[in-house]
Amino acid sequence: MARTHTKILVVDDDASTREGLAALLQGWGYSANAVPDGDAALKLCEKELPHAIVTDLMMPGMSGLEFVKALGERVQQVAIVVLTGQATIETAVQAIKLGAYDYLPKPLDAERLRSVLARGLKQLSLAREAGALRQRLESPLGSYGGLIGKSAPMRQLYQRLSQVAATDAAVLVSGESGTGKELVARTIHDLSPRREEAFLPLNCPAISPTLMESELFGHEKGAFTNAIERHQGCFEQADGGTLFLDEITEMAAEVQAKFLRVLEEGQVRRIGWSPPPIVPRLPPSKKES
């Protein structure tokens, strides 16, 4: 979402604090509004819910926690950051349980607030996109994308797919042959922010062990016999999208070890790749006096 269209509400009983926070947020490009208490904030939220709320914890009348609780179900539609000068683990845990995105102590670290708001707004945007797409995918007849079924276990599956699709985490889909693992993977892709990029399925048993490493990671020209040109592997081809490895347990053990390293490091090295040489810097020569 564009910052100029992103509305943030500041709730704080201290006039100088809330005016300073509103000015800070506007300086970052957000549209900011400020109110002195939870009652005024709730009235504004009833008219139009902001994208994010920065609220003080200790306020006369309605406290910050009571305000978050009063938002009820709508708390899932806004990123809430709670601020306080009396930070304790108990109140932090309570704030998160009530639906707050994060909890920051006073005196406020402006750069930390900026980072927290950016992450919270990004997560909110992804959740809204996934929710809108989920509504389009879900049929009143009990289907969800290419999946069919409206039993309790299937409904739980649909909810789980929506949750993981909003993340960048690697996902393990397990099940018997023919149960629709590729359909599940494709549904996750369609729900994710990567849906405009490639969905690349790879059937591991169909590729010989000698070719699997090159197929996954790619190779450099001259890396082995007949490697007459550079080849991009599946990881590079699916970059920005989704790579689905079907029957991954059929992959050779040594390739699985290299695959695990890719998951851990987030980097792919083509076969035959070598880093450029490091040329040491020589000390400057001393001029004769």
Summarize pLDDT for 108-151 with one digit per residue, the tens.
899 999 999 999 998 888 777 666 666 665 655 566 767 887 78
Exposed, middle or buried by CB within 10 Å (0-12, 13-18, 19+), for 252? Answer: middle
Supply the pLDDT for residue 131.
65
The predicted structure's pLDDT at residue 166: 79
3-state secondary structure 67-119: HHHHHHHHHHHCEEEEEECCCCHHHHHHHHHCCCCEEEECCCCHHHHHHHHHH
**Assessment of whether the complete model's pTM goes beyond 0.75:** no
- For residue range 19-33, list pLDDT tens digits in order: 999 999 999 999 999
pLDDT number for residue 275: 65
68: tokens are 């978050």
Q: What is the mean pLDDT of residues 40-58?
A: 92
What Å distances lie between residue 180 and 26, 165, 246, CA to CA?
49, 17, 11
CA pair distance 269, 183, nearest whole angstrom: 29
State the Cα–Cα distance between residues 64 and 83, nearest whole angstrom: 9
Mean pLDDT of the chain: 84
> pLDDT digit string (tens) for 217-271?
988 888 777 778 888 899 999 998 999 999 998 888 888 888 888 888 888 888 8
Cα separation, 13 vs 84, whole angstroms: 12
Nearest in space to 130 (alpha carbons), one of 187, 53, 197, 51: 187
- Give the chain's end-to-end CA distance (angstroms, integer): 65
- Top pLDDT among 281 and 232 is at 232
pLDDT at position 289 is: 45
Q: Are strands 143-144 and 147-148 parallel, antiparallel or unpaired?
A: antiparallel
> Contact, 59 vs 85, CB < 8 A?
no
Q: Which of 82-96, 99-113, 184-198, 212-226 has the lowest mean pLDDT?
A: 82-96
